[in-house]
Structure 1
Amino acid sequence: MGDDGIAVLAFVEHPDDGWPWAVLDAGGGASQLVDRLLEASYADVTVVDISEASLARVRDRLPENSPVRLIRADLLDWEPTRTFDVWHDRAVFHFLVDPAARLRCTTLVARSLRPGGALVLGSFEPQGPTTCSGLPTARYDPAGLNRVWTDGFVLEHAEQEDHATPWGTTQQFTWALFRRRQSGQPFATSLRSLRLEQVTQAGARTVAGRC
């Protein structure tokens, strides 16, 4: 994706209960999603990325004594010691072309999201790039994502986006909101207040790079 914009979560209202939500940004790198979440009063935010240089850029711009946790790790080798309410991934999953890697990812997310938690996932559409930054990509429409995540998750919403890059091309993305299957009390009346929004902001870093 382009360096001039990122797809972010836009929580238009705080949930009625269960506040604050714990948010995990998978492969977030130097993305400004964490900044937007802090501006929206989200204090329990964790970013996991394999690049120390990218995490350092986030660290340098965060306010002093920021509560954000920055973790350098290969996501598929990471062993979280807690659960989260929201898992956001727009930069990792579509690079998992190996079925075994996808299984590790879905297992990790299922183990890390509390019942009723939200998975917000962005991936290349079938018409999207077949490679990105020299790496092959897996491409999905909403039905394809649902097939991968059907064990343990319920697809609540999906939309497709044409993303205009700074270098004049268009990339097709699929966005999906899944809820972790649960027994008992639903997660915060509402994920109805959760929407996906494209915001333009200079200097936003993407793991995918130019492709």
Structure 2
Amino acid sequence: MAQRMLACTACHGTQGRAAPDGYYPRLAGKPAGYLYNQLLHFRDGRRVYPLMTHLIAPLNETYLMEIAEHFAAMEVPYPAPARVNATPQDLQRGEQLALRGDASRNLPACVACHGTALTGVKPATPGLLGLPRDYLNAQLGAWRAGLRKAHAPDCMADIAKRLAPSDISAVSAWLATQRVPADAHAVAPSSTPLPLQCGSAPAPAGGRP
């Protein structure tokens, strides 16, 4: 499988650790359900990147799940956080949005859905730590502009459209400066209902989300 995944790691880095240019994200250790959903989104046009679409268009859903599970099972270390160009006020605003949200604008905290340690929640919510700031900015901007979509209810699109550009810059700066904890695995779902119910794609027959 690793040999077949060289087309992926050419952009996403050795073992899916992320490329050094700050744009291609880490795949290793992400929840399999999340990776599977994103492959479907690229294939079906809810995420737009022609190279990804071209690579996975011929692949069936069972094989896409095998790809997702391959990268989800990888246990490779995270690099130290990169330095970012942000003021203390920006970082304080980013921390507020990530950990507490902004009730005055009906913005839930990132931790409400992505886990209290921001390492993700099984089966399909990704972690937010260990991602380059440029990638976080690009994805939040894509949600806000309607260039990235998910199955209804598309909660990230709703949240991103309520974020000002300064909010996106602040939260991406704070997230990018946080050290990934030693246990970076996605956690089991909480019994407490999430503030938003987001849509996701079903697993293929015989697949394991």
TM-score by length of 2: 0.29
Q: Which has the higher helix share?
A: 2
TM-score by length of 1: 0.29
Of structures 1 and 2, the one scoring higher in RCO (CA 8 A, sep 6+) is 1
